[in-house]
Chains A and B, each alone.
Chain A
Amino acid sequence: MRKGKMFLLDILNSLLPLLSAFGIGAIIIILIGENPLTTYNIMFGKTLFEWNGFLKTLHFASPLILTGLAIAITFKASIFNMGVEGQLLVGGFFACVIGFCFEGLNPVVHVILGLLTGITCGMIFALIPAILKAYFKVNEIVVTLMLNYAAIEILRILTQTIYRDIGSGYVSTPTVAGSVMFNRIGGTRLTLFFPITIIVFVIMYIVFKKSRLGYEVTAVGKNPEFAEASGMNIKRKIIYIMLISGALSGLAGAGYMFSEKFKYTLDFSGNPGLGWDGMLIALLGRCSPIGIIIAAIFYSSLKTGGDSINIFTNVPKEIVSVIQGLTILFLSIRFINQNTKLFGNIMARFDSKKKKNEEV
């Protein structure tokens, strides 16, 4: 019973902030003279309740699931990897470089090479803050944030100079070769990226729930001093966690590159980037794998819906990021905890009913 109650609490604690954020979002939409109901209807109608639209939502959810997992694993360990965005960009960029540098390779080899490059680059980029945090106790938030800015600048320069596609009218790299482009499956928006994501998700689920590492991550997050006292090598754990996080972000970038963008442009990851969306998803999903996948699909529908409100209404699509910020703000506090009276009363009533039933 207790477990069920906690589960219900978790769901309510995720739903209420969401509703509040959408409420305030609605007020903002009214203030600029538009109808919030039609806006929200356009946002979700096409993306969740139409089959093809839903598949498109799933397609765009793939990188979000990966970044969500990448952030959740560090949050669980009380490490704040704010560099998921930078790791994703670096992974995506170098996967793209591999993608257009080699022509005529066997597609299977080429795809594997490209994805591995993305993963490796993400890991290398995550290794810097990891080593600094583990061995020198440098605050990882500042380091990862700063490296994000540095990564964006360096990639911008690379795109503008060495890897610039001269023929293109705007600043971008050349398009990747056909051998690494993921084909759409059966006329839908889905590509190979989604199954890959699901496989990675299953692996991560097992790591989270069943493996020793998953247990140790939680232990480090709950009380690092105790974890070290009981014999865990915290330094190595921090490095592992950051490496996994970097690998997931790098894979997200590489997959997004091969399945959607095909070339690196300066707005590759959008604004706010996929890494920041991952933060919302990890929080919304309460850092549990199943929660993350639901949150990612929901948020992906919000994002793809944001594009259609731009077309059909006068509401700027920045409203989506406003709602995102509000959601994170409300998610940071627990709306109801076990001690809240109203909730306790309801639960008590359920309990007594159950008891009565049992007695009968």
Chain B
Amino acid sequence: MDFQRIFYIMLSNSAPIILCVLGGNYAHIAGVLNISLEGMMLIGAFASVLFVSVTGSLLKGALIGIIITLVFGLIFAFMCITQKGNPIIIGLAINLLAFSITPFILKVMNTSNLNVNNIIDVAGLKINIPLIKDIPFIGQIVSGHPLVTYVSFIGIFIMWTIMHKTKFGIYVRVVGENEDAAYSVGINVNKIKYIAILIGAFCSALAGINLALEKMALFTNGMTAGIGFIALAAIFCGNGRPGLSSLYAMLFGLAQSLAVNLNISAGPVSGLFKTLPYFVIVIILSVASIIQNKNNRMRGFKNE
């Protein structure tokens, strides 16, 4: 077993999950269940790769990808907050749209996947941090990731600071705790929720860019493979705390990384390891819920 490689892939796989966790956290705390992180990530991945191949520039493509994902975030927010629709159903619809529009456009373009390898040099995007890369063992794990992977880990602190040290963060938490109370002291509840959802869309777009553009320079159908839902599970487990949720996200990253590595050494039944992350999530979520609800005497179940 090559531990260096396992941990490197763990960090690399955790990045999109952490980004989704950080973005989804705001909506979760503001009391909106956003299950469309998955779809938004796919849209972000697809749009960024598509527009890199159209414009021929990495920066322009990434920017347009983020903007398009934000438009989907706006649709979600409009339907859910202004029109007061059921967020779960809207989220499902956005996921379904993302998973049908992307193959539709690919079919119209007559390709099975989008490859921008000729425009982007994936190996060149990896940033080697000076000094740190020379530390034995750890250096090779921490260093050599693309930019957004670093952004995701720095993002944990940024998001924590926004949540706990700024006025906006306090407003978000107040809105989540008690909407009527927030309304009565003059907080614009809808505006806060809109911003919370848009932050989620922005982070999902970054996750998509990280997944498709930076690591592979390639878009294939349904490439997000449930990462958005894994992030959702991490948010539930962490119960709204960015640090703790990110820790869970890294745990899932580890499960995925183990699955990839065991895959190579195990032979014919190797596919079974692919199911590992999903079962790990179910188990962790169950344990977390049992602990959270140990002293709960509430009747019925909470309608989310």
Contact = CB atoms under 8 A, between A and B. Distances in A.
Interface stretch (A116-124, A195-203, A223-231): A223-231
Contact of A332 (B90, B99, B101, B300): B90
B275 to A, nearest CB: 4
B132 interface: no
A229 B298 CA distance: 11
Given A137-B301, A225-B299, A228-B300, A80 B88 contact: yes
Interface in B87-137: 88-90, 92-94, 96-97, 99-101, 103-104, 107-108
Contacts of A149: 225-226, 275, 278
Interface string A57-78: 0000000000000000000001
B96 A161 contact: no
Contact of A146 (B85, B278, B290, B303): B278
A234 B302 CA distance: 12
A279 interface: yes
A218 B215 CA distance: 48
A192 to B, nearest CB: 32
Given A157-B271, A332-B89, A78 B96 contact: no
B300 A316 contact: no
Interface residues of B, number: 52
A220 B107 CA distance: 44
A88 interface: no
B161 interface: no
A143 B285 contact: yes
A146 B92 contact: no
Contacts of A153: 271-272, 274-275, 278
A351 interface: no
B269 A157 contact: yes
A93 to B, nearest CB: 15
Dominant secondary structure at the A interface: helix
B193 to A, nearest CB: 16
A84 to B, nearest CB: 12
Contact of B89 (A136, A238, A331): A331
Contacts of A78: 303
A6 interface: no
Contact of A328 (B83, B92, B272): B92
Interface of B: 35, 75, 79, 83-86, 88-90, 92-94, 96-97, 99-101, 103-104, 107-108, 225-226, 229-230, 232-233, 236, 268-269, 271-272, 274-275, 278-279, 281-282, 285-286, 289-290, 293, 296, 298-304
18 contacts: A78-B303, A136-B289, A137-B293, A137-B302, A138-B285, A139-B236, A141-B88, A142-B229, A143-B286, A146-B281, A157-B272, A224-B300, A227-B300, A229-B299, A272-B99, A276-B96, A321-B96, A332-B89
Interface of A: 28, 32, 78, 80, 82, 128, 132-133, 136-139, 141-143, 145-147, 149-150, 153-154, 156-157, 160-161, 220, 223-229, 234, 238, 271-272, 276, 279, 283, 316, 318-319, 321-322, 324-326, 328-329, 331-333
